[in-house]
Chain A
Amino acid sequence: SQKIEQNSEALNIQEGKTATLTCNYTNYSPAYLQWYRQDPGRGPVFLLLIRENEKEKRKERLKVTFDTTLKQSLFHITASQPADSATYLCALYNYGQNFVFGPGTRLSVLP
């Protein structure tokens, strides 16, 4: 069956370090993969999209990689700040279907 896993239910890192979150999937061939940020009591906010034929995408302090062979995406936040503390969700999409979301990783950046 199709499955999306985000390793580490929770991740604590020190301010200034790089946070790396993982998204692994099985029995799925996504055309796109997205990352969202969700704060408590709020809906998810779209951050980045990467296509199946792209290896890496960057936006400011954020970097996403997509390895369709490993069936994995990595999400990096460089020079992390306490304001980056939130839950981060990956979502997979294929044509004619709807986005399927992972369970999320709760990131805490400690000052």
Chain B
Amino acid sequence: GAGVSQSPSNKVTEKGKDVELRCDPISGHTALYWYRQSLGQGLEFLIYFQGNSAPDKSGLPSDRFSAERTGGSVSTLTIQRTQQEDSAVYLCASSQPLGDRGREGYTFGSGTRLTVV
């Protein structure tokens, strides 16, 4: 598509429930990233996918968080047994398939605002 698409745009869930957040990156972008942004805070790195390589999961805050990327395109971030501190905006970004990805900016989606009540 023309941009990075995320769904849903808003999600309210009860504490303890599982949620799935979806990201559809720009066609042809092999790199995909998930970040989290809490109110008034900077972006917190969660996970990074590059092509068929093993994902970099170093930013996932706990084992309740997991992500997968099917067919090198769409990605799903899953949060199990949600807690109130999981409330944040979850942003997905993709970038060009460059060997040196620092040279290109990321294209971000509009995010999913997750509220755990």
Q: Chain A residues in contact with chain B, CB under 8 A?
A: 4, 31-32, 34, 36, 41-47, 49, 89, 91, 93-95, 98-104
Q: How many A-B residue pairs have CB under 8 A?
A: 54
A46-B110 in contact (CB<8A): no
B110-A31 in contact (CB<8A): no
Residues of A within 8 A of B100 (CB): 95
Q: Chain B residues in contact with chain A, CB under 8 A?
A: 4, 33, 35, 40-43, 45, 48, 56, 59, 91, 93, 100-111
B110-A89 in contact (CB<8A): no
CB-CB under 8 A for A41 and B110, given A89-B42, A101-B43: yes
**A98–chain B nearest beta-carbon distance, Å:** 5
Residues of B within 8 A of A47 (CB): 105
21 A-B residue pairings within 8 Å (CB atoms): A4-B42, A31-B102, A36-B105, A41-B110, A42-B111, A43-B91, A43-B109, A43-B111, A44-B43, A44-B106, A46-B105, A46-B106, A49-B105, A89-B43, A95-B100, A95-B102, A99-B102, A99-B106, A101-B42, A102-B42, A103-B42
